[in-house]
Amino acid sequence: METADKQSYKVSPMGLTSLSVYNVGRHSCAPSYQWGPGIRNHYLIHAVVRGKGVYRTETEEYTLQAGDVFLVYPNTTVSYTADETDPWEYCWAGFNGSDALRMLEASGFRPDAPVLRNLPYAAELQDMLMGIYRSRGGTLAHSVEMTGRLYILLSLFLRNPPVSDEADLMASYTRQAMDYIHGHYSYPLLVEDIAAHIGISRSHLYRAFCTVTGKRPKTYLTEYRIQQACALLGRKDLSIAAIAQSVGYEDGMYFSKVFHKVKHVTPTEYAARVRQAQTGEPTGEILTQDSGGPVVTEKKGEQHHA
């Protein structure tokens, strides 16, 4: 079905990588008008001005009305349909960039919860969206102004975070921290590095992580590294020093100290137990190595304090 009334503007690429407006406009939909199912390669914020409609993601369906906002995530199959008797009108802005996800997550949006309802600042948000539209144009100056207005619009969400979503926000920060640890544990890594990646302070990450997991971020990092080391200690081709390097410890002696503190045995003793469990027989020799030193072959029955 054709649209009832639509104003839109698509922006020519200008190379703004941190945040860039892709398109913007207002749409007063005809009854039962539907977009999708389909995907976008960028984010789209829609603010419902009046009427009703339904927003569908791959897993959920949301009935929305004036004052509600929904977010379309990139590369996610969605559709949205105007009500048959009271079709909606909405304003929207499409955008992307390296700053986008960080700000959206801090605003209370999540892929599994892409809707904010009954916003007290809905009218201000709608005016800001149309302000981006009024700033449209094909020059770099126009693009910079549109992007600047988009930053201000997103700051509106940041200044008014949903109180009920504070726990979800903490969970989001914790998930991001865990994902970063899982991808970078083999490198020298500080809690400050993790917090900087997420875009929050070290103390903020500490509070969120402890609230969600009951553990400090450093404790989780250490335990994850030792868990990965345990998986490697069954291999006969890796020395203790090589395993230490593989899980982010440049000092093999320090790694052995940390390992013993967590597992209550030395890496050498743990490796022997793993190999005995694998073969059913005590291992005849174990590869050990101090950081930077030669490989030492130990015979069964010898003790090695790593």
31-53: pLDDT as tens digits: 999 999 999 999 999 999 999 99
How would you write the pLDDT of the chain (306 residues) with one tens digit per residue? Answer: 445 666 666 665 656 678 999 999 999 999 999 999 999 999 999 999 999 999 999 999 999 999 999 999 999 999 999 999 999 999 999 999 988 888 888 787 888 889 999 888 999 999 999 999 999 988 889 989 999 999 999 988 887 766 545 777 788 889 889 999 999 999 999 999 999 888 888 999 999 999 999 999 999 999 999 999 999 998 888 999 999 999 999 999 999 999 999 999 999 999 999 888 877 755 544 444 443 433 334 444 444 443
Length of the chain measured in residues:
306
pLDDT given for residue 236 in this prediction: 86
Q: How many CB atoms lie within 10 A of CB 244?
A: 28
- Phi (first) and psi of residue 254, to 5 degrees: -65, -40
pLDDT given for residue 242 in this prediction: 95
Residue carrying the six token digits 């105007």: 82
* Whole-number Cα distances in Å, 259 to 2, 182, 212, 252, 266: 66, 18, 25, 10, 6
pLDDT given for residue 105 in this prediction: 81
State how far the Cα of 8 lies from the Cα of 133, in Å rounded to an integer.
Answer: 8
Q: What is the DSSP letter of 83?
A: -
Mean pLDDT over the full length of the chain:
85
pLDDT given for residue 15 in this prediction: 62
Q: How many CB atoms lie within 10 A of CB 105?
A: 19
pLDDT given for residue 61 in this prediction: 94
pLDDT given for residue 12 in this prediction: 59
Q: How many CB atoms lie within 10 A of CB 152?
A: 12
CA 44 to chain centre: 18
pLDDT given for residue 40 in this prediction: 93
> How much is the pTM?
0.53
